[in-house]
């Protein structure tokens, strides 16, 4: 019976440190406020739903608020 891994596969070896640089010493490539959830976690699975850029979050909130208040009046259907 398979449990958790492919049957017969050897267990993964322990991860080793990759050098002198700790993850906490790396320079971020985006501003910390751009992806607020990255302050508390590392997210590696973006196959479907992933961390949202804060600017996109604001735009979605503004759009849904406008939709709730005005319906489709502000839609550009040209």
Q: How many domains does the chain have?
A: 1
The distance in angstroms from the start CA to the end CA of the chain is: 60
* Structural domain includes residue 56: yes
Per-residue pLDDT of the chain (78 residues; tens, 9 = 90+): 445 555 565 665 555 555 666 767 778 788 878 888 877 877 777 777 777 889 999 999 999 999 999 999 989 886
What is the Cα–Cα distance from 50 to 77, expressed in whole angstroms? 30
Contact 57, 33 (CB under 8 A): no
* Structural domain includes residue 58: yes
Specify the pLDDT at position 67: 94
Domain range for 39 is: 31-70
């Amino acid at each position: 019976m398979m449990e958790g891994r492919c049957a017969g596969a050897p267990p993964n070896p322990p991860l080793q440190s990759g050098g002198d640089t700790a993850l906490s010493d790396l320079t971020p490539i985006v501003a910390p406020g751009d992806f607020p959830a990255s302050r508390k976690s590392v997210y590696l699975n973006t196959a479907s739903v992933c961390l949202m850029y804060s600017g996109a979050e604001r735009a979605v909130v503004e759009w849904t608020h406008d939709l709730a208040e005005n319906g489709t009046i502000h839609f550009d259907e040209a």
